[in-house]
């Protein structure tokens, strides 16, 4: 007798088919069905779960018009060498059609250390630009109208005093704080979890963040105060579900801290934004981004009782996965980046950074950066993808995956609650262990060739010679930067610096908002490191127990 | 007879928080039967070499993705020679251009690994080195 259920008929035929020797799992190790069909959508009530673009719970996008209204911002993260060098790279990018700036700082700056600090030796200007004082901020944005370009700054531990320098520079340019647009990464929780650039223990860092949020709510209303970042969590080796869950858990923690500090959720939540990774597993990444919007909207509305719909929006930046780039056959990275960027666009990102093909080797050359930016322009203007909003909405597979990722994230939220919250979970090494385990499992899968990276563990070129040009940062950068720092120290009013720093240390021991004090320090050219030290007196330092 | 247990110090010198590679390698070396002391982040060359002396380590592995590899590898090698560890292996990995790897090899630094290198290649390299450098 004929089987009347077409899916059963297919299943029977599939069961008799010869299959390739492969794992058929996602890059995160998620088991995948060979086919998703209408029954995978059962229980998925379209209106409540998907909604419409610009409507709660925003699964299909944060804006009603999405890319028909405005394309994503093409924002290439960049910074190297001296402030002058970075300034000329910015002018190059703006001239090529980039629509926003994104500052990469060097390692000493990320740790709040001056270029002449003992631990800074060899690192000044290497993986970003060095900023020691307001003078460097002036050089960095020379000739760039801060009131007209939006500026993103990837800075975390010393975010508040780097931002103070940025504000002091805006004052000097004659730009009102209210006209400034941009984003500070300012996400210290993921530093403890993944990127490891902190100065103080978690609580004082969190206090600085709530101070900054309150200050911006009053004075810099268009500024995105935190970019809650999954990017680094993923780069450290997490799965897609871990990236999603840990990032949103961090977001909820910031909300709870700000509410506990006396702020109304709708006064700050609209200025929170997110930052996700676009890794190689195309559909899983799209599902992750769609799930993020839905989870955030639900929690903000139901748990934190936000009333302003803007507080419910998970707006996010996407960067293609640096860890997916290969040093072998680097030209292939152009293809990888294109696929990842497309997943970011299909995931509904608000801004996008595409990596350059040479970044597994060095900082990108101008040529490589241009190809990366052009990749976004091809997606935007040639592929036709931005014409239709959330084109994968309703896909059996993508909707099922979106729901699965949401469920996995909810399981992690419960686990984090059991551990006492995000900060105790950090102190217990929970996130760090989960990520390290996932990274190791993935590396073993590569070792056993159960996962393939083309040109790396399969399809290798026997005799490969590197033929792409490499950008080098000259050793003179460090000398020049240290000399510039010394000149500023000679020129400035030392008495004013000492007074501002002493006032900062004193204020740090009280509950007063530290932003005005930090601005005072920046205006008189106190250095980044001096400001860190003044705060360390009050806050102490933090060391992590090394585990692997 | 099995090899005596190879003792490896793994550290991240300077200001570089990218510890994924260091931790994955540390774990793989342990699984391969080596004894690993992972010092963690923000280590000075002095602290690393001091630990190697204390532990009487056979191998020091540095992980550097910050671009500061020329400074750190040279400094650690210099201190190793000074502290009587000239016969031990200094190796490591990170984003290190081929040209710089060659320069560091001239300074006595061992093979350096990069993104995409197989864990087994690192294990084999250390074990081969250890077999050919009895002490």
d(CA A272, CA A69): 22
In sequence order, which residues have a C-beta less than 8 Å from that of residue B55 and are 6 or more positions away? B7, B9, B37
**Predicted ipTM of the assembly:** 0.86
Which of A127, A235, A327 has the CB atom closest to B114's CB atom?
Answer: A327
What is the mean predicted confidence (pLDDT) over B83-89? 97
User: How many residues would you count in chain A?
Assistant: 548
Count of domains observed in chain B: 1
Q: Label residue A349 left, alpha or beta by phi (over 0 means left) and psi (-120 to 50 means alpha).
A: beta
Is A457's CB within 8 Å of B15's CB?
Answer: no
| pLDDT score recorded for residue B16 | 85
Say if CB A452 and CB A253 are below 8 A apart. Answer: no
Assign domain A39-447 to a CATH class: alpha beta
Is A443's CB within 8 Å of B97's CB?
Answer: no
Confidence check: pLDDT of B47 > 70 = yes
| pLDDT score recorded for residue A466 | 62
Give the gap in angstroms from C-alpha A179 to the nearest C-alpha of chain B: 34
Assigned token pair, A330: 């680097």
User: What confidence tier does A141 reach under pLDDT thresholds 50, 70, 90?
Assistant: very high
Q: Is residue B53 part of a domain?
A: yes
Which of A120, A123, A237 has the CB atom closest to B20's CB atom?
Answer: A237
Which of A111, A325, A546 has the CB atom closest to B38's CB atom?
Answer: A546
Cβ–Cβ contact B74 with A under 8 A: no
Cβ–Cβ contact A119 with B under 8 A: yes
The per-residue pLDDT for range A422-447, each reduced to its tens digit, is 999 999 999 999 999 999 999 999 99
**Size of the A and B interface in Cβ pairs below 8 Å:** 112
Give the gap in angstroms from C-alpha A209 to the nearest C-alpha of chain B: 21
Apex B69 CA angle, B27 and A107, nearest 5: 90
Q: Domain-by-domain residue ranges, chain A? A: 39-447, 476-539
| pLDDT score recorded for residue A3 | 57
Apex A285 CA angle, A54 and A320, nearest 5: 100
Give the gap in angstroms from C-alpha B65 to the nearest C-alpha of chain A: 9
What is the mean predicted confidence (pLDDT) over A177-204? 96
Q: Is residue B79 part of a domain?
A: yes
The per-residue pLDDT for range A265-321, each reduced to its tens digit, is 999 999 999 999 999 999 999 999 999 999 999 999 999 999 999 999 999 999 999
Q: Is residue B2 part of a domain?
A: no
Average per-residue pLDDT for chain B: 93
DSSP class of residue A129 equals B
d(CA A300, CA A244): 16
Average per-residue pLDDT for chain A: 94
Ranges of beta strands (E only) in A246-360 are 272-278, 316-320, 351-353
| pLDDT score recorded for residue A364 | 87
Confidence check: pLDDT of A143 > 50 = yes
* A37-51, A163-177, A190-204, A483-497: least confidently modelled range: A37-51
User: What SS3 string covers A196-258?
Assistant: CCCCCCHHHHHHHHHHHHHHHHHHCCCEECEEEECHHHHHCCCCHHHHHHHHHHHHHHHHHHH
Nearest CA in chain A to B26: A548
Confidence check: pLDDT of A78 > 90 = no
Assigned token pair, A161: 């005093």
d(CA A79, CA A95): 16
| pLDDT score recorded for residue B97 | 86
Is B15's CB within 8 Å of A120's CB?
Answer: yes
Residue ranges in chain B assigned as alpha helix (H)? 20-31, 45-55, 69-82, 98-106, 119-132
d(CA A81, CA A78): 11
d(CA B32, CA B35): 9
Give the gap in angstroms from C-alpha A192 to the nearest C-alpha of chain B: 10
| CA nearest to A245, candidates A425, A408, A409, A401 | A409
Confidence check: pLDDT of A129 > 50 = yes
User: How many residues would you count in chain B?
Assistant: 135
Bond from prior residue into A420 cis (ω within 30 degrees of 0): no
Is B28's CB within 8 Å of A121's CB?
Answer: no
Q: How many CB atoms lie within 10 A of CB A423?
A: 17
* A95-109, A269-283, B74-88, B94-108: least confidently modelled range: A95-109
| pLDDT score recorded for residue B4 | 74
User: What confidence tier does A127 reach under pLDDT thresholds 50, 70, 90?
Assistant: confident
- The fraction of chain A above a pLDDT of 90, given in percent, is 84
* A2-6, A136-140, A301-305, B48-52: least confidently modelled range: A2-6
What is the mean predicted confidence (pLDDT) over A396-405? 96
End-to-end alpha carbon distance in chain B: 17
Confidence check: pLDDT of B92 > 90 = yes
Q: How many CB atoms lie within 10 A of CB A385?
A: 13
d(CA B64, CA B61): 10
* A359-368, A396-405, B64-73, B96-105: least confidently modelled range: A359-368
Is B115's CB within 8 Å of A360's CB?
Answer: yes
Q: Is residue B1 part of a domain?
A: no
| pLDDT score recorded for residue A405 | 98
Confidence check: pLDDT of A243 > 90 = yes
Is B116's CB within 8 Å of A196's CB?
Answer: no
The per-residue pLDDT for range A494-520, each reduced to its tens digit, is 999 999 999 999 999 999 999 999 999
Confidence check: pLDDT of A465 > 70 = no
In this structure, is the dihedral angle defined by the CA atoms of residues B84, B89, B93 and B99, taken in order, positive or negative?
Answer: positive
Is A235's CB within 8 Å of B20's CB?
Answer: yes
What pTM was computed for the model?
A: 0.93
Assigned token pair, A203: 């609580």
In this structure, is the dihedral angle defined by the CA atoms of residues A375, A376, A379 and A380, taken in order, positive or negative?
Answer: negative
Confidence check: pLDDT of B1 > 50 = no
Confidence check: pLDDT of A334 > 60 = yes
d(CA B109, CA A480): 29
* A87-96, A175-184, A194-203, B29-38: least confidently modelled range: A87-96
CATH, residue B93: 3.40.50.280
Nearest CA in chain B to A235: B20
Cβ–Cβ contact B51 with A under 8 A: no
Residues 97-126 (B) with a CB less than 8 A from some CB of A: 97-98, 114-116, 118-120
What is the mean predicted confidence (pLDDT) over A352-361? 92
Chain-centroid distance of CA A303 in Å reads 25
Is A436's CB within 8 Å of B27's CB?
Answer: yes
What is the mean predicted confidence (pLDDT) over A83-107? 89
| pLDDT score recorded for residue A181 | 94
> What is the residue range of B120's domain?
7-132
Q: Which residues pair with A229 in a beta bridge?
A: A275
User: What confidence tier does A244 reach under pLDDT thresholds 50, 70, 90?
Assistant: very high
| pLDDT score recorded for residue A496 | 98
| CA nearest to A215, candidates A268, A274, A291 | A268
Say if CB B88 and CB B106 are below 8 A apart. Answer: no
Nearest CA in chain A to B41: A546
Nearest CA in chain A to B122: A447
Strand order in the sheet with B35-43: B35-43, B7-13, B59-64, B89-94, B112-113
Mind giving me the DSSP string for A367-387?
Answer: HHHHHHHHHHHHHHHTS-GGG
């Amino acid at each position: 007798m004929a089987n009347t259920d077409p899916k059963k008929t297919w299943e029977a035929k599939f069961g008799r088919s010869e299959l390739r020797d492969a794992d058929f799992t996602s890059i995160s190790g998620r088991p995948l069905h060979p086919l998703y069909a209408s029954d995978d959508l059962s229980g998925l009530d379209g209106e409540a779960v998907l909604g419409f673009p610009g409507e709660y719970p925003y699964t299909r996008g944060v804006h009603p018009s999405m890319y028909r209204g405005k394309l994503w911002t093409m924002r290439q993260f960049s910074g190297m060498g001296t402030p002058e060098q970075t300034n000329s790279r910015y002018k190059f990018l703006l001239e090529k059609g980039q629509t926003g700036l994104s500052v990469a700082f060097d390692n000493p700056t990320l740790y709040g250390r001056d270029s002449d600090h003992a631990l800074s030796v060899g690192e000044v200007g290497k993986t970003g630009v060095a900023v020691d004082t307001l003078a460097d901020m002036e050089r960095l944005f020379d000739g760039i109208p801060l009131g007209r370009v939006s500026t993103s700054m990837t800075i975390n531990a010393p975010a508040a005093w780097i931002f103070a320098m940025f504000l002091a520079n805006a004052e000097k340019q004659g730009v009102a704080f209210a006209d400034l647009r941009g984003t500070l990464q300012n996400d210290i929780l993921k530093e403890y979890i993944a990127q490891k650039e902190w100065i103080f223990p978690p609580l004082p860092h969190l206090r600085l963040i709530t101070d900054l949020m309150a200050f911006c709510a009053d004075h810099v209303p268009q500024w995105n105060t935190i970019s809650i970042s999954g990017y680094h969590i993923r780069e450290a080796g997490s799965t897609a579900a871990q990236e999603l869950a840990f990032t949103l858990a961090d977001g909820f923690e910031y909300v709870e801290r700000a509410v506990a500090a006396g702020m109304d959720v709708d006064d700050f939540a609209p200025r929170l934004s997110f930052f996700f990774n676009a890794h190689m597993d195309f559909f899983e990444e799209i599902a992750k981004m769609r799930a993020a919007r839905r989870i955030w909207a639900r929690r903000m509305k139901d748990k934190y009782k936000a009333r302003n719909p803007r507080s419910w929006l998970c707006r996010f930046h996407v960067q293609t996965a640096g860890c997916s780039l290969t040093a072998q056959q680097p030209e292939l990275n152009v293809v990888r980046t294109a696929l990842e960027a497309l997943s970011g666009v299909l995931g509904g990102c608000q801004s996008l950074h595409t990596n350059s093909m040479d970044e597994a080797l060095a900082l990108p050359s101008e040529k490589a950066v241009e190809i990366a930016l052009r990749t976004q322009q091809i997606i935007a203007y040639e592929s036709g993808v931005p014409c239709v909003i959330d084109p994968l909405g309703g896909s059996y597979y993508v909707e099922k995956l979106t729901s699965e990722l949401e469920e996995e994230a909810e399981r992690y939220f419960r686990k984090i609650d059991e551990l006492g919250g995000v900060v105790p979970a950090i102190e217990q090494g929970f996130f760090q262990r989960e990520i390290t385990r996932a990274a190791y499992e993935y590396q073993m899968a590569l070792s056993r060739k159960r996962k393939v990276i083309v040109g790396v563990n399969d399809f290798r070129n026997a005799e490969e010679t590197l033929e792409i040009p490499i950008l080098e940062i000259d050793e003179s950068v460090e000398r020049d930067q240290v000399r510039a720092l010394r000149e500023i120290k000679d020129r400035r009013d030392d008495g004013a610096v000492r007074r501002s720093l002493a006032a900062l240390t004193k204020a740090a021991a009280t509950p007063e908002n530290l932003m005005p004090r930090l601005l005072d320090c920046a205006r008189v050219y106190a250095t980044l490191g001096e400001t860190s030290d003044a705060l360390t007196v009050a806050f102490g330092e933090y060391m992590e127990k090394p585990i692997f | 007879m099995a090899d005596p247990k190879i003792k490896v110090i793994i550290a991240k010198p300077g200001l570089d928080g990218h510890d994924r590679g260091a931790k994955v390698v540390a774990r793989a070396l342990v699984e391969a039967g080596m004894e690993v002391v992972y010092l963690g982040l923000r280590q000075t060359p002095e602290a690393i070499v001091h630990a190697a002396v204390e532990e009487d380590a056979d191998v020091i592995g540095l992980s550097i993705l910050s671009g500061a590899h020329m400074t750190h590898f040279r400094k650690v090698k210099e201190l190793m020679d000074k502290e009587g560890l000239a016969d031990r292996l200094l190796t490591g990995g990170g984003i290190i251009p081929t040209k710089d790897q060659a320069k560091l090899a001239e300074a006595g630094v061992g093979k350096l690994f990069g993104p995409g290198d197989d864990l087994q290649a690192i294990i084999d390299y250390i074990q081969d080195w250890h077999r050919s450098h009895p002490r």
